[in-house]
Amino acid sequence: MKNKFPKDKILEIGKDVLMSATEGIAYTRANLGISFVKAVNLIININGKIIFSGMGKSGIIARKLASTMSSTGTFSCYIHPVEALHGDLGMIKKHDILIIISNSGETPEIITFLKHVKDLNLDNEIIAITSQKNSKICQYVDIKLFTHISRETRKKDSQLYYVPTTSTTVAMALGDALISACRLTKGFELTSFLKYHPEGHIGKLLKTKIG
């Protein structure tokens, strides 16, 4: 079957998506402020664990960030917001910090989850990564990290306008920035990282560098 689109059109689509993501990250970087500092200080002084949560694509990002944070010295896990309502709320203990990812900040499952977290009366600190300052989840959280993403692509008439692309990329980047700042601030060394990542290409590079 022959491709209906010419080469230049295909490249234009790819470049537009990449440019939208680039601009989104740049704008979020330019607006990074004191809330980011507060989140880092909160995490590096934690007495419990970090719990990530999110629905859909945000949930996939939350799982990745939980894995990255654990590999850099801070015990973290992921809780599905719906599974939490069917028993996994028991995973949340006093002194745990929750990091919630929701682009719209209006995800019903997340809002219900947060209501029940509050009902536990464990005084858990909650951090949100979201794009909307006046969203419902902001009513339940202590620290808000905004991605400032209002659209997925620069072209409003594009079929990609509502498909999660820029929002997910920026949320991931902001989460990675948070984890990196925590790792370096608390002095997590490469020797410790090697203990958690002894194999694969990264493990080989670390062994060579440290050796």
* Burial call 156-179: b when 16+ CB within 10 Å, e when fewer: eebebeeebbbbbbbbbbbbebbb
Per the structure, the complete domain to which residue 98 belongs is given by 15-210
Looking at residue 73, what DSSP letter applies? T
Taking only the tens place, the pLDDT of each residue in 73-115 is: 899 999 999 999 999 999 999 999 999 999 999 999 999 999 9
Question: Structural domain tally of the chain?
Answer: 1
Residue 7 lies in a domain: no
Residue 6 lies in a domain: no
CATH code of the domain containing 41 = 3.40.50.10490
Show Cβ contacts of residue 53 under 8 Å, excluding neighbours closer than 6 positions: 59, 62, 78, 79, 80, 81, 84, 98, 99, 100, 101, 110, 113
For every one of its 211 residues, what pLDDT tens digit does the chain have, with 9 covering 90 and above?
566 778 888 898 889 889 999 999 999 999 999 999 999 999 999 999 999 999 999 999 999 999 999 988 899 999 999 999 999 999 999 999 999 999 999 999 999 999 999 999 999 999 999 999 999 999 999 999 999 887 887 666 667 767 899 999 999 999 999 999 999 898 766 675 666 667 777 666 766 766 6
Contact (Cβ atoms closer than 8 angstroms) between residue 68 and residue 172: no
